[in-house]
A and B are shown apart, each in its own frame.
Chain A
């Protein structure tokens, strides 16, 4: 087989996947970008190079508000999830006997495989006005009236944190078990106490893993529609919720496209801000 036929054959193997990605990902993406620069004249679409949609994003209070709400929720969720998951991953990696670790880890992330729509619904059951939490608290005599838990930002954040605690426990655990135990032993031998060992040795060594998990959380959280829609209700809207409103009720595709581009811009900024810690190639 000559080198040339080998190369031609290589292209043959590569082409289907590349063409698929070009046709169904790159082309739609470019069209969406062009759509964000188009405008609506009544119900007719006018293609062009107008920045009207982006101007509207800055000008309309509810659109700017949605971006702020999305950012606030996403940052809260990312921070809380990391803070909750790290100790659990630590306990599994260092306190649970090695032969049980895989089982405990599997148990810790089993509810991860609840259907995605159903998971938010299950939290709605827990947080509803006559749901488990309220009835338990009232049964214990801790509160007289049911608390409003569902249809609040608290519910959205709880639903998200539940999902991402499992995801982050997995990624941080994977990071911790890769560390050689010699680092801890050396730090202890040199007189560091448990906290100093954590603060100056383990934490810096696991930072890339934490950041990778945090970035993943950020990306998945800010683009999610279901969780805020089911748990947060319509009290305040996130960017994906506003996109869906534009698509559905108002059929304003240009504005929806512009919002999607902004969403991508935010993710890109987050990536740049965290790039020096990220090791995405190691995922």
Chain B
């Protein structure tokens, strides 16, 4: 009985992914049964599509750039609040976490209104700024949670031995927190890479991959969409498995 339930639910969970991947190999122009194939023509089609490849590179750039900034800011703030006695520290923590409690749509809408009022143009930069806003709280929370007393002792030892503040941070704190920093970075990259609504509202001519996929969707079902969807899935799953095998495995030991 329980196994039948688990199996049925697994069927439900995998049904769309299986359909997506299977019909990406369709030899025909409609991704619905009956299945003809397998054929790799849609993969060739997708990889030869300049707009898609450009959107993919844009997404990668925005994801890596915005995540690097989010992690740098998040680490710096976590270091400030965990290692220094500052007034109103609860208020600063709440402020930094606040964007997490609001829909992406609202973050994007607010930024869009400001950008338009100021008469600035929309670009990958504005989308990147939006992605830093949503990833900063996550990076801060992950890194702040893993700042413990054991690094503090090492930091004191380094200071006693004459290291200046920059060296303490870069040569002691950062390496000791590497797993948390990497986890925050990877998580930010996957969230930004896949984010739609902020990127949609805040870009215009150069767009990210989810926005490009969205505009392709308007012309209806197509095996091209299956192919690009399967490729994105493959990339994300590889990233997740890599993270699982490296960062989290180490942490559990």
Please give the residue numbers on chain A whose beta carbons come within 8 Å of chain B beta carbons, in ascending order: 1, 6-7, 9-14, 16-18, 20-22, 24-29, 31-32, 35, 84, 87-88, 91-92, 95, 106-108, 110-111, 113-119, 121-126, 128, 130-132, 135-136, 162, 165-166, 219, 222-226, 230, 240, 243, 247, 253, 256-257, 260, 263-264, 267
Cross-chain contact of B165 among A9, A22, A32, A222 (Cβ < 8 A): A9
20 additional A-B residue pairs with CB within 8 Å, beyond A25-B107, A122-B20, A226-B196: A1-B159, A13-B76, A14-B76, A16-B76, A18-B92, A20-B133, A20-B136, A21-B96, A21-B133, A24-B111, A24-B133, A25-B98, A31-B113, A95-B2, A108-B13, A111-B17, A115-B194, A130-B33, A225-B196, A243-B109
Cross-chain contact of B210 among A27, A115, A132, A257 (Cβ < 8 A): A115
B27 at the binding interface (Cβ < 8 Å): no
Cross-chain contact of B20 among A87, A92, A125, A166 (Cβ < 8 A): A125
**Cα of A139 to Cα of B188 in the assembled complex, Å:** 45
Cross-chain contact of B236 among A114, A225, A247 (Cβ < 8 A): A114
Q: Is the CB of A230 within 8 A of B6?
A: no
Partner-contacting stretch, out of B37-45, B78-86, B146-154: B78-86
B177 at the binding interface (Cβ < 8 Å): no
By DSSP majority rule, is chain A's interface helix, strand, loop, or mixed?
helix
Interface residues on B, range: 35 or more
B217 at the binding interface (Cβ < 8 Å): yes
Q: Is the CB of A223 within 8 A of B106?
A: yes
Q: By CB atoms of chain B within 10 A, which of A1, A95, A108, A116 has the most?
A: A116
Distance in angstroms from B105 CB to nearest chain A CB is 5
**Cα of A11 to Cα of B117 in the assembled complex, Å:** 31
Q: Which of B51-89 contact A (CB under 8 A)?
A: 73-74, 76-77, 79-81, 83-86
Check A14/B236 contact, CB under 8 A, given A28-B114, A88-B6, A121-B225.
no
B102 at the binding interface (Cβ < 8 Å): yes
Q: Is the CB of B2 within 8 A of A91?
A: yes
Check A260/B16 contact, CB under 8 A, given A18-B92, A115-B232, A118-B213.
no
When A and B form their complex, which 9 residue pairs have the shortest distance between CB atoms, in order from nearest?
A10-B84, A223-B103, A28-B110, A13-B80, A122-B16, A118-B229, A17-B77, A14-B80, A113-B236
Residue of A nearest to B117 (CB): A31
CB-CB < 8 A to B132: which residues of A?
20, 24
Residue of A nearest to B109 (CB): A260
Distance in angstroms from A6 CB to nearest chain B CB is 6
Residue of B nearest to A104 (CB): B6
Check A6/B12 contact, CB under 8 A, given A31-B114, A223-B103.
no
Q: Is the CB of B105 within 8 A of A117?
A: no
Cross-chain contact of A18 among B10, B95, B197 (Cβ < 8 A): B95
B171 at the binding interface (Cβ < 8 Å): no
**Cα of A110 to Cα of B80 in the assembled complex, Å:** 36
Q: Which of B220-253 contact A (CB under 8 A)?
A: 221, 225-226, 228-229, 232-233, 236-237, 239-240, 244
B158 at the binding interface (Cβ < 8 Å): no
Distance in angstroms from B176 CB to nearest chain A CB is 17
Q: Is the CB of A32 within 8 A of B110?
A: yes
Cross-chain contact of A125 among B31, B96, B105, B228 (Cβ < 8 A): B31
CB-CB < 8 A to B244: which residues of A?
106
CB-CB < 8 A to A18: which residues of B?
77, 92, 95-96
**Cα of A88 to Cα of B10 in the assembled complex, Å:** 9
Cross-chain contact of A17 among B5, B73, B102 (Cβ < 8 A): B73
B9 at the binding interface (Cβ < 8 Å): yes
What are 15 A-to-B residue pairs whose CB atoms are below 8 Å? A7-B86, A17-B76, A22-B95, A25-B133, A28-B114, A32-B109, A110-B17, A110-B237, A113-B190, A118-B228, A126-B15, A135-B33, A225-B196, A260-B109, A263-B105
**Cα of A7 to Cα of B6 in the assembled complex, Å:** 55
Distance in angstroms from A271 CB to nearest chain B CB is 8
Q: Is the CB of B103 within 8 A of A14?
A: no
**Cα of A207 to Cα of B226 in the assembled complex, Å:** 39
Residue of B nearest to A90 (CB): B2
Residue of A nearest to B15 (CB): A126
B158-201 near A? 1/0 per residue, CB < 8 Å: 01000001000000000000000000000000100011110001
Q: Is the CB of B33 within 8 A of A132?
A: yes
